[in-house]
Structure formats: C-alpha cells, structure tokens
Amino acid sequence: MKTKSVLVSVFIAVTASLVQAAPASIEDSIASHASRDGIALSVIDSTPTILAAIADTYRDKGVEYTQGNRRRSAKPVVRRGVGNIFDVHSHAIPDWYRAITPFAGGNVASGSGGGFATPQWNVSAHMAFMDTIGISHSVLGFTGPSANAYFGDKARTIALARLINEQLAAFARTYPDTFSFFASIPLPYVEESITELKYAVNELGAVGIALMSNHEGLYLGYDLFTPFWEALDGLGGRQIVYVHPTTPYLKVNDQWIPANPYFEMDQSRMEFYMETARTFMDLTVKQTIHNFTNTHFVLPHVGGAFPVMIDRVLKTMHTDLYEASLEIYRTRFWWDSASPTYFHQIGGLLAYDIPKGNLLYGTDFPFINAAVTAADFESIMAYPGLTDEEKEDLLSRNYQQLFGDKLHFS
C-alpha cells in the first residue's frame, strides 16, 4: 500500500512536470521562432549577449515576450494633435550593435574628413531628447549598414536582420506609446527577405520596413528583387517602405569595395544624398514604383539629391515615364525633414508641386546633435512657404494619412 502510493505520487509528479513544462525563456522563444524560419542565430558570435539584451528590454518593464504578438494589440498608441510631434526618422543603436559596427551611418574614417564613431544610444537618452523637441512618438529604424554589416555573408546577414527586428519589437512592445519600428530586411537574399518581412510585419508588429539605398551594391530596382516587391505589395493593405541611405560600393576586379570618391568627408555627408538619388531613380526607371501600387515610400532628408535629378533623367532618357512618375511622387511618396532641409532645399522639392500634406517630420537622432536638430526645427517654424496650419500638419498630423490604421490614436 505504502509502496503503491509512493509510486502513484511519483507518477503524478512526473506527469505534472511534463504537462507544466517551465515556460520557455524569452531567449528560447526567440531562438525557436528563428529555427522555425530556418535561421541559425548562432552564426553570430555575440548572439548570446544580444539575446540577453533583448530579454532585458522586456524584463526591465515586466512585459511578456508574446504580449502584442497579435496584430491588433501590437499597434502602437499615438497621442494625436498639435504639440504631439511625430518623428518618422530616428535610430535605435543598442550597445551590441555599436560593438558590431563601430562606424555605423557611413561615418567611415577617411582622409582629413575624419569620420566619427557610432554614437552611444539608449532608450532613456532617446526619451530625454524627444522631450526637448516635444516629440511624443518616434518610429525607430536602424541606420546603414543595418543587417548588411557582414558583406557577402548570407547566414550572418539573415541572422542579424532577425536579431535587429526582435530588438526593435522589444522596444516597441515595452514602450508602445513612445516607439514603433521599421523592420530591417536581409536583402540581397530575396527568399529569406520575404520570410523576414512576413515575420516582422505579421508577428512582430512592424509598421513598415526600412530598406537601405543599396544592399551589397545592388540598388532597390534590381531585377532579381522583383519577387520581394511582389510579396511586400501583396501582404494586404498599404505597405510602407522607409529608405535609408548607406555606404555606396563599387565593383573593382570582381571585388566589392566601399566607395568614397570625395574622401575629404565621411560618406554620410554628401554620398548619402547621392545614394538616395540613385536608388529612387532606379526604382523609377525599372518601374518598381509604378507596378506595386499598395506600396508607399518615406524618403529621407526630403529626398536628398533625388528631386534635383528628376527632370534631368526623365526629360532626357525616360520621357515616357515622366507624367506617371510625378503622379507617384505626389501621392505615394512622403518626404521627411531630417537634416537642415528647411528652408533652402525644401523649395526645390515643392517646385515639383508635391502636396504639403506629404511632408513629414524627422530628426535622424542620435546622428545629428541636439543643437542642429533644434536649429532645424526653428527653420521649419520660420519657413515662409508654409502656413502655420501646414506646419502643424507637418509636425503632428500628416503622418496619420500615411500610417492610417497601423497605429492606434488616443
């Protein structure tokens, strides 16, 4: 009798431990989602550190990893109205990413122009910055090289994109009133990029994706990228692509090398404007923007050097695309203000009759220092080409037309 009851209790205990397996840790959950999608996170040496940092983001606020996985509750909550400024262009740089990319954002040291190290960043510094301007919500994205920190290394590029997106989702779920995010995509690897796109948008709750101006030297209209654009455009509803400039590459003797023709300055200064022009012209002449009509674009720095190139290219060698392209630039293109773009540069863009309702506010934090950002803000406020109401729209309302039901408003 006694033996029997011991056996019974052992049986019960063993069964109970099988049924109530300890809940998976955040690290294990992330790893199991990755392995389900065929991604080996362990190809990156610092993956254990990265997973611990992501888990800490949740644990610091006691947020469940799965919380917000369902699409609706994943939507960020945005305070609406005048004075609640919306920043569509800002960057997260967790310490682990700074360790991988000591010169992110095209700040490669070269010539007498120097180059500067990837800035230190954290959530509390970002929130303190937002308060100085009156920003109530920021969309976080990674700057160049984003997931392409390991040029030519497919496995590590795919793993890094996943880790970046898990980290961004952790920030957005932990601080849903303050942050939402644009997901990183591991192009040029098209099939894996489609997998990551679906995971980031459908499961992690990304409000859009961040593409680099080029991925391993290939601009966004590249022929073999078309299946990616098809998958994106077909996800259902409006899709938002924020494009960020990155280091240009040149193929020399079958080797890709980072290019900085004017080596007296870091690449971000002038080459980033050229990169924006190159990739949007590529998307235009390959007709990517014409064929995929659910897809909207956020152009950094009110388009960089792109607007100045439009007539030169489309009135000389692609005249058949002129009218239709301008129509797209006026409807599905949205132009962020990051950099000292007001008020000389903006005049060139508005000369193409771009509606003022498509102008957005962006800061580029933490790459632009607080003094320059404050001066940029003052320049918008002083710009004679917008009425007071149009300025309020730019800061606090136009984004609602772009994001629509991807955000909750309060």
Ligand X SMILES: *[C@@H]1O[C@H](CO)[C@@H](O)[C@H](O)[C@H]1NC(C)=O
Among 42, 120, 132, 401, binds ligand X (CB under 6 A): 120
Q: In whole angstroms, give the CA distance from residue 18 to residue 12.
A: 10
Q: What is the smallest separation between the CB atom of 123 and ligand X, expressed in angstroms?
A: 8
* Between 5 and 124, CB nearer to ligand X: 124
Which range in 47-55, 107-115, 281-289, 340-348 contacts ligand X by CB under 6 A?
281-289
Which range in 53-61, 75-83, 119-127, 331-339 contacts ligand X by CB under 6 A?
119-127
Q: In whole angstroms, give the CA distance from residue 220 to residue 226.
A: 9
Among 46, 69, 202, 287, binds ligand X (CB under 6 A): 287
Preceding omega of 366 cis (within 30 degrees of 0) = yes
Q: In whole angstroms, give the CA distance from residue 269 to residue 285.
A: 26
**Which two tokens mark 225?**
């990228």
The answer to whether residue 369 forms part of the interface with ligand X (CB under 6 A) is no
Q: What is the smallest separation between the CB atom of 45 and ligand X, expressed in angstroms?
A: 23
The answer to whether residue 126 forms part of the interface with ligand X (CB under 6 A) is no
Which range in 10-18, 39-47, 117-125, 188-196 contacts ligand X by CB under 6 A?
117-125
CA distance between the termini of the chain: 65
The number of residues that bind ligand X (CB under 6 A) is 9
| Cβ(273)–Cβ(305) below 8 Å | yes
3-state secondary structure of 142: coil
Q: What is the smallest separation between the CB atom of 378 and ligand X, expressed in angstroms?
A: 23
* Between 295 and 358, CB nearer to ligand X: 295
Q: What is the smallest separation between the CB atom of 98 and ligand X, expressed in angstroms?
A: 11
Which range in 16-24, 120-128, 270-278, 385-393 contacts ligand X by CB under 6 A?
120-128
Which range in 96-104, 192-200, 285-293, 338-346 contacts ligand X by CB under 6 A?
285-293
* Between 125 and 381, CB nearer to ligand X: 125
**x/- site string to ligand X, residues 205 to 244, per CB under 6 A?**
---------------------x------------------
Q: What is the smallest separation between the CB atom of 348 and ligand X, expressed in angstroms?
A: 27
Number of C-beta neighbours around residue 45 at 10 A: 10
| Cβ(331)–Cβ(307) below 8 Å | no
**Which two tokens mark 253?**
């003797």
Q: In whole angstroms, give the CA distance from residue 326 to residue 352.
A: 8
| Cβ(242)–Cβ(88) below 8 Å | yes
Q: What is the smallest separation between the CB atom of 128 and ligand X, expressed in angstroms?
A: 8
**x/- site string to ligand X, residues 32 to 61, per CB under 6 A?**
------------------------------
Among 162, 286, 301, 332, binds ligand X (CB under 6 A): 286
Which range in 23-31, 176-184, 234-242, 284-292 contacts ligand X by CB under 6 A?
284-292
SS (H, E, C) 304-335: CCHHHHHHHHHCCCCHHHHHHHHHHHHHCEEE
The answer to whether residue 331 forms part of the interface with ligand X (CB under 6 A) is no
Q: What is the smallest separation between the CB atom of 125 and ligand X, expressed in angstroms?
A: 4
The answer to whether residue 122 forms part of the interface with ligand X (CB under 6 A) is yes
* Between 73 and 120, CB nearer to ligand X: 120
Phi and psi, residue 320, nearest 5°:
-65, -20
C-alpha distance from residue 302 to each of 218, 339, 384, 396 (Å): 22, 9, 17, 17
DSSP E strands in 163-254: the ranges are: 179-184, 208-212, 214-215, 218-219, 239-244, 249-252
* Between 116 and 150, CB nearer to ligand X: 116
Number of C-beta neighbours around residue 166 at 10 A: 26
The answer to whether residue 294 forms part of the interface with ligand X (CB under 6 A) is no
The answer to whether residue 291 forms part of the interface with ligand X (CB under 6 A) is yes
Q: In whole angstroms, give the CA distance from residue 343 to residue 382.
A: 8
Which range in 33-41, 118-126, 140-148, 179-187 contacts ligand X by CB under 6 A?
118-126
The answer to whether residue 125 forms part of the interface with ligand X (CB under 6 A) is yes
Q: In whole angstroms, give the CA distance from residue 184 to residue 195.
A: 12
C-alpha distance from residue 156 to each of 41, 61, 248 (Å): 8, 30, 20
The residues that touch ligand X, with contacts defined as CB under 6 A, are: 120, 122, 124-125, 226, 286-288, 291
